[in-house]
Amino acid sequence: MSVSGYARRGVQLAGLAVVVVIVLAAVATVAFGVPISALERVVADGLDTLRRIFTPGYVARSMELAAPITLAAIGGLYAEKSGVFNIGLEGFMIFGAFFAAAATYFVGAGGAVHAWIGIGVSVLLTTGLTVLFAVLLIRYKADQIVAGLGVWFIGLGLVPFTAAIIWDSRNSPRMPGVGRVTVPGASEIPYLGRIVFDQSPLVWLTVLVVIGSWVFLYRTRYGYWIQAAGDNPEALDTAGIDVNRVRYATVIFSGALAGLGGAVLLAHSSSFVGTGQTMVDGRGWLGIVAYLFGNYNPIGAAAAALLFGGVDMLQGQLQTLNIDASPKLLGLLPYVVVIVVLTGWGKTQVPSSVGDPYESED
């Protein structure tokens, strides 16, 4: 779906929501005799609550939480568009977060420069691991589901073990972050200033990745090659393009972005956490769901990731406002969102050759 298509769908959903609210108000007034003043008070209280929840800080923090999911989603999207299902995104994010923490620790915890070095080293090392993963999938035709789960299991076991060797604990010491980029004057603009002009540089890096990946996929011949590799590899091969070479590039790219997502997650946190499901805690899986929601469109995937980030941030926001809500109930919100979005967003068009190894007839 094009950008204009997503815009039209958004307008349609917003218009539908307005109509539903109006109809419910009319029914309550006419059928149940609810006074107009009472409805006005309910609406006013509801709007005031929403204003207290959706503060600039809440939106900005939601964008930070969405950035790692978005990066993993775009990487997985590219791989699957070319015909390879990289289910190992969660594992590569775990490696990415750990590599960033370890690199920052050994370079020195002096400041933002060291955090950026850690991010760069993390992307390089994760890319190297993904090269091996791509060879396993494409050259040796390993089962993509099994191999991806293997990456996840190795990450869950090896990374905390290595962390314990380095720091005598599965959790690292406090790490420096990348800070925020504040534009003097512009950051004082009501509401948008805090969101747009006083934001983490990694969020805007993610925005650039989203825009660039959309342009590359839908406006360049290389992007058409990627789409053809997943939908009609025989035709691409007939045109003289090496299908497996295209798939190598996208799988490696997916692992690099997942590693970057893990590094971004670390940079927005205080330290690496290796206990439980590690600090990644399912964000790689959410990345897969995000690009499915977005119908394999980077902009749609980013919008879905922002939705997940907002839901993740909601529990903490309600607690700061002393709004009584069950943590267990809030924990179900992401799954409710999944059901609602899948119901209202339409059918996802999966590339026809996903999971099928390809061999040229030459």
- C-beta of residue 243 within 8 angstroms of C-beta of residue 237: yes
pLDDT exceeds 90 at position 331: no
Of 116, 122, 127, the closest CA to residue 201 belongs to 116
Alpha carbons 291 and 260: distance in angstroms, whole number: 17
Q: Choose the most confident range, by mean pLDDT, from 26-30, 52-56, 161-165, 306-310.
A: 161-165
Q: Choose the most confident range, by mean pLDDT, from 42-56, 123-137, 168-182.
A: 123-137
What SS3 class is residue 198?
strand
Q: Write the DSSP assignment of 175-194 as a string of letters.
A: ------EE-TTGGGSTTHHH
Please give the C-alpha separations between residue 186 and each of 193, 195, 208, 272, in angstroms, as whole numbers.
6, 11, 20, 33
Alpha carbons 286 and 292: distance in angstroms, whole number: 10
Domains, the chain: 58-345 (1.10.3470)
- C-beta of residue 237 within 8 angstroms of C-beta of residue 360: yes
What SS3 class is residue 171?
strand
The DSSP call for residue 138 is: I
Alpha carbons 88 and 288: distance in angstroms, whole number: 10
Among 18-32, 78-92, 222-236, 314-328, where is mean pLDDT lowest?
A: 18-32
Lookup: tokens for 316: 């903490």
Please give the C-alpha separations between residue 273 and each of 153, 173, 197, in angstroms, as whole numbers.
16, 9, 30
Q: pTM of the full predicted structure?
A: 0.86
Provide CB contacts within 8 A for 329, sequence distance 6+: none
Alpha carbons 279 and 265: distance in angstroms, whole number: 8
pLDDT exceeds 90 at position 50: no
Lookup: tokens for 347: 């059918």
Alpha carbons 141 and 188: distance in angstroms, whole number: 55
